[in-house]
Amino acid sequence: MFFFSKSKNRAYSNAINRITGQSPKNLDLYHLAMRHTSVAKEKRKGFLESNERLEYLGDAVLGMVVAEYLFNKYPFKDEGFLTEVRSRLVNREHLNQLAKKIGLSDLIEYSGSPKGNTLSFKSIYGDALEALIGACYLDKGYKKTKIFILKKLLIPHVDLDLIISTTTNFKSKIIEWSQKENRNLIFEVNEISNNNHFKKFEAVILVDEKEVSKGQGLSKKKAEQNAAEKSCQILNLI
């Protein structure tokens, strides 16, 4: 765990520079981006401040940059292809892996153990990466954030050919399986409570009225895909 103090601000600034390729101006934004909900601080009565708002912003910016990148890189591919590849690039597991590769695990401030199986820790690294993107956007603007995403994340760390060869619409896959096997498949999606009054969704997949998997996301679609991927793994469909 990285402990924040004034004496370590220079080292922290250097770490952000190494990861993003840019010197931060407002270091407080980056500190906030690494603050997990387990160590949220009360900013005002009834509001606990963590990296969730920055995660929301970063999710939108990342989605836009990736969409534009794929649109330009594959001018003759249809919307379905572009959507599936983007979904694979920004899914939680892929972002978790990417965050670890660039060293965010050394910077995240948390309480407890991220190695546990609790829901609050399952996406700690990917959430922090999206929050970092949100912080960079507020600090440096869209153009420089786009450069960070492309030159420090996508180009050096992402094998697009591999992702394309393994890209699967997991929701479609499990629906196809249920129809073929004549099984009763139900997706239940609910907004889950949050101390910061911030929207998150949880999807539950039921097969013949029995729960198979759960998944979470910042949108209903992401939650469904996350749950569907887990179900596909459990049912040996991938």
The span from the CA of 40 to the CA of 42, in Å, is 7
Tens of pLDDT, residues 166-211 = 756 788 889 989 999 999 999 999 988 665 556 788 999 999 999 9
214 phi and psi angles, rounded to 5 deg: -130, 150
State the pLDDT at residue 107: 92
Domain with CATH 1.10.1520.10 in the chain: 6-166
| Domain 6-166 class, CATH top level | mainly alpha
Mark whether 28 is an active-site residue.
no
CA distance 121 to 57: 20
170-234 has which fold?
A: Double Stranded RNA Binding Domain (3.30.160)
Cα 183 to Cα 79, 176, 206, 210, 231: the distances in Å are 30, 10, 10, 11, 14
The CATH 3.30.160.20 domain(s) of the chain lie at: 170-234
Sign of the Cα torsion 105, 106, 111, 112 reads positive
Residue 52 bears catalytic tag: no
Beta carbons within 8 Å of 82's beta carbon, 6+ residues apart: 67, 70, 71, 74
Catalytic residue among 59, 84, 139, 202: 59
pLDDT one-digit tens code per residue, 91-138: 888 899 999 999 998 899 888 765 654 555 678 999 999 999 999 999
Which of the following is catalytic: 55, 130, 139, 202?
130
Average the pLDDT over 38-46 and give the result.
Answer: 73
| Residue 150 · residue 69 · CB < 8 Å | yes
Average pLDDT of 228-234?
A: 90
Q: Report angle CA 40, 43, 45 to the nearest 5 degrees.
A: 105
Question: Could you give the angle at the alpha carbon of 212 between the alpha carbons of 207 and 215, nearest 5°?
Answer: 120
Q: pLDDT at position 117, please? A: 46
Query: Rounded to the nearest 5°, which phi and psi values hold at 129?
Result: -65, -45
